Structure 1
Amino acid sequence: MTIRVLLVDDQDMVRAALRAVLDRREDLTVVGEAADGERAVEAAVRLRPDVVVMDVRMPGVNGVEATGRLLADWPDDAGPAPRVLVLTTFDLDEYVHAALRAGASGFLLKNSPAEEFAQAVRVVAAGEAMLAPSVTRRLIGVFTALPAGRAAAGPGAGAGAAAGDGAGRPSGRGRLDLLTERELDVLLLVARGHSNQRIATELGLTQANVKSRVNRILVRLGLENRVQAAILAHEAGLLTG
């Protein structure tokens, strides 16, 4: 099955380079491009890609706002919403924090190797988060140290509420009481950036069983994706005992 990708970046040369990387892979194809967030949302609804590769800093509607609009307002009759893979020049960019809150499935640095970029698209398309332990753990650590209002909205962004901001919904470690002991084990490994395959190996489960447990965790915690689950685990202090 070919993964359909929409590229969003305000620089023509960047889009051309990304297209060249993806179009060389038999399982990946670029179905469209957009130069700003507003056009990205329009193109996504029209083209219905599997993955949107979204730049952060763009004129007009930036990548954070576009991610929030795209995922929050996706038409009910348009099928599943695309996964969003955020691109950034800086690994500690506050706009990325807000984009993850808005429901993006992961992020990648623009200077990442070509094969890593292609693999990130595959991972996101498969429903997993791009949680590289070496970078994402540091990003989440910085993110959780930010003031709540600043973390939830980001500079100039209007997208996404914090993971524990739902009305009447417990936050922090109290929300983890909704999970079984085994689900907590799975959540811990998700927060550490492990793939379903690695989680299955470490816990002696099948990949299908891990996928089912991750989906159940997201439903019980009222989250959209694994990135938000990882952020919640960090906020709740799960990694520190």
Structure 2
Amino acid sequence: MNQPQIRVALVDDQQLFRSGLAVIIGAQPDMAVVAQATDGTEALGAIAVHEPDVVLMDVQMSPMGGVEATRKIFEDATGRFDKLPKVIMLTTFDWDEHAATAIRHGASGFILKDSTPEFVCESIRAVNGGNAVIAPQSLAALLRDEPAPVPEVPLPYLELTEREREVFAAVALGLTNQEISEKLFLSGSTVKTHIGAILRKLELRDRVQIVVYSYENCIGR
């Protein structure tokens, strides 16, 4: 049985770049471009109509840029993350403060506009599968210039079990499920179960948000 295709939306104000991405992604047997938009406002409408799984979102656009559009996608989204797309920011610069802000708002990472076609496609597959496309160390570096983390440990974190906190710390350090399994002597399915419980209890959407949560609250690192 064929796997369902990953539905992708492209948001960029440069038509030539957007068209190139569409050709690359459309050539993949497991992907389909279902919508294109030239700015954040168009993107919000297209997402509502076409319900993509993954959105490639340019950081800098006018009148509404990718950061603001990402904020609007995820605002008031508590409890219904499964209804929303995963967002990958497109940026020209390796260390982009706007990308860091978008990640805080809910984006699953960022890729450079000059990335190879293979890396773009693998990034789409990664975030569609619940993973991030930025290493925790790189994310920490991006967040370093943001406002200082709040020292108080939030109540939802205190409600995690001891084992869930161990898994949380491992995810925040960037360990894969296999590495967590070996480190904590857990089966792969048990690791997935714990991560699912952590995301649910902390009302987070994916692994990259665990890294952000860890950094902002000075826990698990």
Aligned to 1:129: 132
User: Among residues 15, 25, 35, which one is paired with 2:38 in the alignment?
Assistant: 35
RMSD of aligned Cα (Å):
2.7
CA contact (8 A) 1:144 1:231 kept: no
User: Among residues 205, 211, 219, which one is paired with 2:186 in the alignment?
Assistant: 205
Structure 1 gaps, min length 5: 149-161, 165-169
Cα shift readout 1:214-241 (whole Å, capped 9, x = no counterpart): 121122223333222102223444465x
- Residues 62, 218 of structure 1: CA spacing in aligned structure 2 closer, same or farther, 3 A cutoff? same
User: Among residues 86, 100, 103, which one is paired with 2:103 in the alignment?
Assistant: 100
Q: TM-score, normalised by structure 1?
A: 0.78
- Residues 115, 205 of structure 1: CA spacing in aligned structure 2 closer, same or farther, 3 A cutoff? farther
In 2, Cα distance between equivalents of 1:73 and 1:239: 26
In 2, Cα distance between equivalents of 1:103 and 1:171: 22
CA contact (8 A) 1:7 1:52 kept: yes
Letter in 1 for 2:167: V
CA contact (8 A) 1:10 1:34 kept: yes
CA contact (8 A) 1:144 1:234 kept: no
3-state SS, counterpart of residue 182 of structure 1: helix
In 1, Cα distance between equivalents of 2:215 and 2:75: 24
Q: Quote the offset at 1:97 in angstroms.
A: 1.4
- Residues 18, 195 of structure 1: CA spacing in aligned structure 2 closer, same or farther, 3 A cutoff? farther
Aligned to 1:47: 50
Aligned to 1:155: none
Count of equivalent residues: 216
2:8 is equivalent to residue 5 of structure 1: yes
Aligned to 2:21: 18
- Residues 171, 218 of structure 1: CA spacing in aligned structure 2 closer, same or farther, 3 A cutoff? farther
In 1, Cα distance between equivalents of 2:181 and 2:33: 32
Structure 2 gaps, min length 5: none
3-state SS, counterpart of residue 15 of structure 1: helix
In 2, Cα distance between equivalents of 1:61 and 1:42: 13
Q: Percent identity?
A: 39
Q: Quote the offset at 1:69 in angstroms.
A: 1.0
